[in-house]
């Protein structure tokens, strides 16, 4: 694997939400754990096993970072705005 990976970053009011499709295996654990239920399967981007990656609805995302914590592959990075 390369030292850095392709990242898709979404900007929101509370923070930024990044997914790394090269790490995303499509298990869906984060979708169930999201307290705002604002994660869903992407319609366009595929993950490392050819399954859809996850995507956040940035209008609802509160940048709590639970999806980042429960990801077994560290495919999500959430940065809260100060």
Contact footprint for another protein (CB under 8 A): 1, 3-11, 18, 20, 22-23, 25-29, 31-33, 48-49, 51, 68-75, 77
Q: Rounded distance, CA 17 to CA 12, Å?
A: 8
CB of 13 vs another protein, minimal distance in Å: 16
**Distance in Å, CB of 81 to another protein, minimum:** 16
What minimum distance in Å lies between the beta carbon of 5 and another protein? 6
Say if CB 19 and CB 7 are below 8 A apart: yes
Burial of 47: CB neighbours in 10 Å, binned 0-12, 13-18, 19+:
buried
């Amino acid at each position: 694997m390369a030292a850095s990976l392709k990242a898709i970053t979404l900007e929101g009011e509370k923070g930024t939400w990044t997914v790394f499709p090269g790490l995303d295996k499509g298990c869906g654990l984060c979708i169930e754990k999201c307290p705002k239920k604002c994660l869903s399967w992407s319609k366009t981007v595929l993950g490392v096993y050819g399954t859809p990656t996850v995507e956040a609805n940035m209008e609802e995302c509160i940048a709590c970072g639970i999806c980042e914590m429960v990801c077994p592959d560290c495919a999500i990075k959430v940065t809260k705005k100060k």
